[in-house]
Structure 1
Amino acid sequence: MRRTVAFLAAAFAVVGLSPAPALAEGGDVTWTVRTASNSYGSARSSFSYAVNPGGTTEDGLIVANKGTTPLTLTVYAADGLTTSAGQLDLLARDKTSKGVGVWVKAGNGTVTIPAGKAAEVPFAVTVPANATPGDYVGGIVTSLTAPDSTAQVNVERRLGIKIKLRVGGDLVPALAIEDMSVSRTAVTYKIHNTGNAVQSARQAVTITGPFGWFRTEAPAIAAPPELLPGESWTVTVPVEDLTPAVLMTATATLTPLVTDESGSTTALADVSATAHLWVLPWTWTILLLVAIAAVVAGVLLARRARRRRKAREEARIKAAVADALQAAATTV
């Protein structure tokens, strides 16, 4: 039987903006998940830890069965990634994790909860001694795979909670602007998280002519999603009211934003990049085309004149030779 995995994105608590438990809509699943109440807190929307290389910490996940029959779920962890829609997602179960998905282990790989009851699933976060410092993001997942008789496939439904892990050591946040280009209609560039911290940024784009004249500022640009270390995000900023001024310079400026362990956000030094575009006014373009046409016509006329002079000289030489041969013949 072919196996299809369906992920209930609406049910996955990865945003971390609300302390409410993760709960699927429309009755697709019959359980909820939330963080356990312990020394880390009693109303957390997600899990967050700071652990040094070689260290371990323990926590728990509360799973509540809202159905009328016992429920057996698989529990596992997976690394996170940012989707093309800017949302945090988790690697599929058949994909290989390298951070949170490997270092987080549940006490049991499965849990059975009686109808109407809740159970705590303990788990441990164990960071290898050789782990690279920086931020790692993933999640702990509860999963139920069941056959779908209509579609004749197995469907996996998942509920989980985000885990953000900061491994102790030097935190080196860094953003780079790459592959920047500018056209008459848009400025495009890629934001690349080249550091080891989760980062977002404030953005600004300006276009100027020579000597900073004819400055045009793009309207407010939405912040990119929080990018995990190594991730990239492409930004396209529409260009409006561009004043043609021969050589235009587009400048993109990022103000990196990093959140510390207490939840406080710090703005770092700006990062900028430029790209250039030749934009001639229509009158200048017409004059330039006329000038180019005049130069081309002049070159062609000069070539034609040289060919005519050459032909005349060859005819003169030919006639002179003929006259000389005729005179020699008469003398003899």
Structure 2
Amino acid sequence: MPVLHTLRRAGVLLLAAAALHGAAVVGAPPAAADEPGWTAEPVAGTGVAPKASGAANAPAARPYFYLAGASGTVLEDRLSLANTSDQEHTVTLRGADAYNTADGAFAVRPAAPAAAGDPQGPATGAGSWISFGASTTVKVPAHTRAVVPFAVTVPPGAPPGDHPAAVVATEAGHEVGVRVHLRVDGPALAALTVEDVSVRGEGAASTIAYTLVNRGNVALAPELSIEAEGTFGKVAGRSAHTLPVEVLPGQRVELSEPWPGAPVFDRVALTLTVTAPGGARATGRASAWFLPWGIAGRTGAGLLGLGGTAAAALLLVRKRRIRGADDAAAPHGSAVPDQSPAPEHELTGAPR
């Protein structure tokens, strides 16, 4: 049963409500124009956030839910729905599985059944463990905040590690997702691989494309460094930096990295090294030729001309060899008959 509280002020954080390929993307707050008149977020935690000197402490805000426990247990938390408008809103709540989009964004699966062959169907993982009981649909009066409890029932035998999910609130097609970071007790394995490394473009406009695959059972926030070795020594790469993605267990993301230090003319061997908390480390390698089109065009034309000259010379030598063989085959001291054609008669139009 939701608990209702009268709002004293507005301005509550609205987590991502955008839709992408039928899934609500969870992450940064949307633009003000996307404001539906209500917000959804975790109820402030029991911890305290430090205030300025002399000010009272307040409950710490939480950007997402974090729950942890053993398989077979029931975990509980509370969602806050705040109606900042002058009219009542009816909000529907559900749990959803979470996944990475191809570019690494955090997204949740839709509520509707998926089409045949579509892997992004309704919740079958941790999203299906979330229950709101009788509070699946909540009416929130104007300028009122509803506190809605929910439970996460971890099934017996659930594998250890992270199980990404989200709580999704919906009204009239508008969805707001709040991430649920759920970890089941047990051994944590941080492991990933770097695959499909390639170079696109040339010069300062070059980019390095690659794929990261999370082979472990915990979400990873990786760091990437790039080393480049040219024909004549080291080439400018990229120093270690944190990537703006979190790769979920079992997911693969396709990323690209700008490479302004790429050479203009060289053959380069690239080594990509990715690390993540928990001891995860992986490398990926590739090589690439950098050759300016102008030089390539002139070099190609020169090689083509040289090839033509060589072919003509070989043909001339072959003809001379054939003629020498015919001379050697004729009888000694005899003349070779003249094979010149008979002279043509001039046509004047008069009978002969």
Q: TM-score, normalised by structure 1?
A: 0.71
Instruction: Give the CA deviation at 1:199.
Output: 1.0
- 1:31 equivalent to 2:35? Answer no
Instruction: Give the CA deviation at 1:137.
Output: 1.9
After superposition, the C-alpha distances for 1:210-243 in whole angstroms (9 at most, x for unaligned) are 4x71432236766131111213131132243516
The separation in 1 between residues aligned to 2:297 and 2:38, in whole angstroms, is 68
The residue aligned with 1:261 is none
The residue aligned with 1:216 is 236
- 1:199 equivalent to 2:220? Answer yes
The separation in 2 between residues aligned to 1:74 and 1:284, in whole angstroms, is 62
Write the letter of the residue equivalent to 1:254. V
Q: Secondary structure at the match of 1:218?
A: strand
CA contact (8 A) 2:263 2:290 kept: no
The residue aligned with 1:166 is 183
The residue aligned with 1:97 is 123
**Alignment counterpart, residue 66 of structure 1, candidates 84, 89, 92:** 84
After superposition, the C-alpha distances for 1:169-212 in whole angstroms (9 at most, x for unaligned) are 322222211111235442222222222211122212222124x7
Write the letter of the residue equivalent to 1:30. G
The separation in 2 between residues aligned to 1:284 and 1:158, in whole angstroms, is 54
Segments of 5+ residues of structure 2 without an aligned counterpart are 1-15, 49-58, 113-120, 335-352
Paired residues, number? 290
Residues 236 and 300 of structure 1: CA distance in aligned 2, closer, same or farther (over 3 Å): farther
Within 5 Å, which residues of 2 pair with 1:1-332? 8-9=17-18, 14-15=26-27, 25-26=32-33, 28-36=35-43, 42-43=59-60, 44-83=62-101, 86-94=104-112, 95-108=121-134, 109-145=136-172, 156-182=173-199, 184-185=202-203, 186=206, 187-210=208-231, 213-218=233-238, 223-229=243-249, 230-240=251-261, 242=263, 244-245=265-266, 247-256=267-276, 258=277, 268=279, 270-279=281-290, 297-298=309-310, 300-314=312-326, 316-317=328-329, 319-320=330-331
Residues 254 and 113 of structure 1: CA distance in aligned 2, closer, same or farther (over 3 Å): same
Q: Secondary structure at the match of 1:215?
A: strand
The percent of aligned pairs where both chains have the same amino acid is: 27
Write the letter of the residue equivalent to 1:65. N
The separation in 2 between residues aligned to 1:31 and 1:198, in whole angstroms, is 30
CA contact (8 A) 1:144 1:158 kept: yes
The separation in 1 between residues aligned to 2:75 and 2:43, in whole angstroms, is 14
The residue aligned with 2:6 is none
The separation in 2 between residues aligned to 1:38 and 1:28, in whole angstroms, is 24
Residues 296 and 175 of structure 1: CA distance in aligned 2, closer, same or farther (over 3 Å): farther
CA contact (8 A) 2:222 2:275 kept: yes
Residues 250 and 316 of structure 1: CA distance in aligned 2, closer, same or farther (over 3 Å): same
After superposition, the C-alpha distances for 1:44-96 in whole angstroms (9 at most, x for unaligned) are 22111123222221122122333334332111011223346654332222232
The residue aligned with 2:350 is none
Residues 314 and 170 of structure 1: CA distance in aligned 2, closer, same or farther (over 3 Å): farther
Residues 309 and 165 of structure 1: CA distance in aligned 2, closer, same or farther (over 3 Å): same
Write the letter of the residue equivalent to 1:61. L
Segments of 5+ residues of structure 1 without an aligned counterpart are 1-6, 17-21, 146-155, 259-265, 324-332
Instruction: Give the CA deviation at 1:117.
Output: 2.9
Q: Secondary structure at the match of 2:163?
A: strand
31-40 or 57-66, which moves further after superposition?
A: 31-40
Write the letter of the residue equivalent to 1:204. S
After superposition, the C-alpha distances for 1:110-162 in whole angstroms (9 at most, x for unaligned) are 112333333222211112224332212221122112xxxxxxxxxx1122321
Q: TM-score, normalised by structure 2?
A: 0.68
81-90 or 276-285, which moves further after superposition?
A: 276-285
The separation in 2 between residues aligned to 1:202 and 1:113, in whole angstroms, is 43
Q: Secondary structure at the match of 2:166?
A: strand
The separation in 2 between residues aligned to 1:49 and 1:9, in whole angstroms, is 25
CA contact (8 A) 1:13 1:160 kept: yes
The residue aligned with 2:3 is none
The separation in 2 between residues aligned to 1:243 and 1:141, in whole angstroms, is 50
Residues 166 and 285 of structure 1: CA distance in aligned 2, closer, same or farther (over 3 Å): same
The separation in 2 between residues aligned to 1:87 and 1:284, in whole angstroms, is 40
